[in-house]
Amino acid sequence: MTRSTSAVLATVLASLLWGSSFSVIKIGLRTIDPYWFVFLRFSIAAALALVYLWSIGRLGKALALARHPLVIWLGVANAVGFIFQFKGQTLTTAVNAALIINSCTIYVAIVSKFVFGERFGPPKLLGVALGILGVYLVTTGGRLTVAFGESVRGDLIVLGGALAWTAFIVLDKKVVELLDVDVRSLTGAMVLLTALSSLPAAVIFGRGEFPGVSPELWTIPYTSVFCTILPFFLWTWGLKAISATTSSVVMLSEVVFALVIAALLLGERLTAGGFAGSALIVVAILLASREPAVKTATGPDVVPE
């Protein structure tokens, strides 16, 4: 097996693990408060990341980055994105959450045009139009009039998470451009700051107490290890042997994995309108990431859920 083949397989495995997160989160939210869930997930992930960085002699660099104002804002944006996603998933399906969250690639293409001067030709323009239509179809099922029920409110909250991650990704590119950083150290700082930034929300908006023992408690360490730390390192290792463009195309399989796993574990199914919307979002993501950027930066991919 060639190195490039191994890299593609590693990227596919990372996509599978990230794709599983939506269903696992939905299971955990049956008994776990969403705000405490976010905090505990990233607290465990931060502990593991810091131990790893200590073992390779980069802990000091990570802690120094964690004090930089731009990196602090990265942590805040990441925490806000996850808080919106987890809260939204208490009201909507894992399938809808996966599709709406991954639509952030479309919004990044728009913002990057103005912030970084990236090219915004006809493919990206078409991708934005298809993506907006796709999100509408997933949210409403294609109905022209829809009651503003729990599912729609949940979709809109999750969309807030996608917008928060749009800001995160754009700011992440700016940080990598301005700071000469090691990706592993920056990721460790990011995970730590995400945990710290999510704590106030857990204390203020949580159910008043630390989560107790429940049958769904396993979902916290699972998302910490298999949806945060492990897929990030698989994805990063893959980037050493394949291009960023190839990686981004392979990562589209995350949406497919999310839909399949949600169907198997939760019995969730898309409506006809939702199915059409999901297809449009996948095409839109592909179009939005088709044209190479003027400047390419590789930062911590903590968020592609």
Range of the domain at 159: 3-288
Q: What three-state secondary structure class fits 181?
A: coil
Tally the domains of the chain. Answer: 1
Q: DSSP per residue over 44-62, as a string?
A: HHHHHHHHHHHHTT-HHHH
The structure tokens listed for 108 are: 């990044």
Burial of 257 (0-12, 13-18, 19+ CB in 10 A): buried
Given a cut of 80, whether residue 57 has pLDDT beyond it is yes
Which DSSP category does 208 fall into?
A: S
Higher-pLDDT residue of 236 and 293 is: 236
H helices within the chain, ranges in order? 3-28, 34-55, 59-65, 69-89, 94-102, 104-115, 122-140, 150-178, 183-205, 219-224, 230-239, 244-250, 253-266, 272-288
Residue 120's pLDDT is 66
**Looking at the domain assignment, is residue 15 inside a domain?**
yes
Q: How far apart are CA 98 and CA 193, in angstroms?
A: 24
Rounded-to-integer distance, Cα 217 and Cα 9, Å = 30
Buried b or exposed e, range 53-65, using 16+ CB within 10 angstroms: beeeebbebbeeb
Mean of pLDDT values over 146-160: 80
Instruction: Report the 10 Å Cβ neighbour count for 240.
Output: 9
157, part of any domain: yes
Q: How far apart are CA 289 and CA 104, in angstroms?
A: 11
Q: Are 83 and 35 in contact (CB under 8 A)?
A: yes
Whether 294 is covered by a domain: the verdict is: no
Determine, yes or no, domain membership for 302. no
Q: Is residue 297 part of a domain?
A: no
**Which span out of 199-203, 234-238, 250-254 was modeled with the highest average pLDDT?**
199-203
Averaged over 158-171, what is the pLDDT?
A: 89
Assess if residue 99 is contained within a domain: yes
When pLDDT is cut at 50, 70 and 90, the band that residue 294 belongs to is: very low
Model confidence at 154: pLDDT above 80: yes
Token output for 41: 């997930």
> pLDDT: is 60 or 236 the higher one?
60
Q: Is the pLDDT confidence value at 295 over 90?
A: no
Q: pTM for the complete prediction? A: 0.84
pLDDT tens digits for 185-204? 888 999 999 999 999 999 99
Q: Is the pLDDT of residue 300 over 50?
A: no
Alpha-carbon gap, residue 22 to 258, rounded angstroms: 7
